[in-house]
């Protein structure tokens, strides 16, 4: 079983749609959680960190459920530019040094 599991997709959605991704992690001792975005043939970039209380950044909302060990990302009003692979990432420590990446979920937003 992988430490961080994601549906690889692809998720094909029209512009303006709302789309949600989930991921599950196996190590209950994980302390910090993130979503990274990776464009095709580019490096990963931090999208947002994820807190138990939930956090929002513009059109993006992330949630953490520690009891169920899953993390979600909601994208509202999808844009063409949101097309990318979204990586769910966990770390055992608060500092986020030893990151464990999920395999990624590919999103394709169509006009």
Partner 1 sequence: DAGVIQSPRHEVTEMGQEVTLRCKPISGHDYLFWYRQTMMRGLELLIYFNNNVPIDDSGMPEDRFSAKMPNASFSTLKIQPSEPRDSAVYFCASSSDRGVSSYNEQFFGPGTRLTVL
Q: Give contact residues for partner 1 (rule: CB under 8 A).
A: 32, 34, 42-46, 49, 87, 91, 94-104
Q: Which residues pair with 4 in a beta bridge?
A: 25
Nearer Cβ to partner 1 (13/22): 22
**Residue 69 near residue 16 (C-beta atoms within 8 A):** no
Distance of closest approach, residue 8 Cβ to partner 1, in angstroms: 10
Nearer Cβ to partner 1 (46/80): 46
Name the H helices within the chain: none
**Residue 8 near residue 105 (C-beta atoms within 8 A):** yes
Distance of closest approach, residue 54 Cβ to partner 1, in angstroms: 17
């Amino acid at each position: 079983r992988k430490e961080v599991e994601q549906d690889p997709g692809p998720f094909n959605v029209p512009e303006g749609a709302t789309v949600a991704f989930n991921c599950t992690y196996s190590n209950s001792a994980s302390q910090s959680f993130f979503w990274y975005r990776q464009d095709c043939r580019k490096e990963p970039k931090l999208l947002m960190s994820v807190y138990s209380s939930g956090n929002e950044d513009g059109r993006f909302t992330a949630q953490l459920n520690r009891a169920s060990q899953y993390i979600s990302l909601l994208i509202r009003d999808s844009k063409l530019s949101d097309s990318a692979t979204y990586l769910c990432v966990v770390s055992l420590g608060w500092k986020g040094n030893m990151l464990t990446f999920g395999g990624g979920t590919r999103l394709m937003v169509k006009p």
